[in-house]
Structure 1
């Protein structure tokens, strides 16, 4: 796993963390359970950079819990995180979206194998936008 790809997903997790924190500050969730959940989320943010493969299960679990605990923000969860953690997170993605992410992942692996830089966000834009425009 390249450092850039990991950093990209860590930034998405940090963004999701700010959304979760704002929920608590707005008193939209029970404080005690929410505080414990944020502690687990912080553990993931801290542990993921040093051992991404081992912490994928924790990530899958926490992202799934966000959907169940905080359905009011489900639409704010970055889709890239669902793909990044995979496993049970993929249940929250339609098949068509999974196919697009598979193609994006193949592009990433091809670029890495060729020693070329790969900008996940830019490539995602190139891959996803044309299909969205054709759908209208």
Structure 2
């Protein structure tokens, strides 16, 4: 279901956001202007995705692209699912085999929704990524 998929992505973003903001340079007492702006944008992105308001896809692309460019050491804290969700330029940072997996997941989810069947995104994701 769309709600389950949305909630899964939202949870990933919340965890990534919390993890990112606990790391330097975002956890320092004195933050630079860039770090304050990044923090604010990341927090706003979580709220926008939670309420599905604004152009959260474009905002997500911009914020994660900024993360890759300015804080590359923190990129591993962001699940690849979010790169796929926000797409755009972020797809350039994903290898072809990873893109193929997320395409398969989207196709399976869409087919189930079209047929009116339930689809457990998290289980299908774990199976395709070899996590179980």
Query: Same fold per TM (> 0.5)?
Result: yes
Shift of 1:128: 2.4
Larger RCO (alpha carbons 8 Å, 6+ apart): 2
Could you say which residue in structure 2 is the equivalent of 1:48?
49
Could you say which residue in structure 1 is the equivalent of 2:14?
14
Deviations 1:10-66 (A, max 9, x none): 1111111112211122x3x95432122111111111122333683211111111111
Q: Which structure 2 segments of 5+ residues have no match?
A: none
The structure-2 alpha-carbon separation of the partners of 1:99 and 1:66, relative to structure 1 and needing over 3 Å to count, comes to same
What do you get for the CA RMSD once the two structures are aligned? 2.3
Note if contact 2:48-2:54 (Cα within 8 Å) is conserved in structure 1: no
Q: How many residues align?
A: 129
Separation in structure 1 between the aligned mates of residue 54 and residue 105 of structure 2, nearest angstrom: 20
Separation in structure 2 between the aligned mates of residue 17 and residue 75 of structure 1, nearest angstrom: 12
Q: Which structure 1 segments of 5+ residues have no match?
A: 131-136
Separation in structure 2 between the aligned mates of residue 35 and residue 52 of structure 1, nearest angstrom: 22
Separation in structure 1 between the aligned mates of residue 55 and residue 32 of structure 2, nearest angstrom: 29
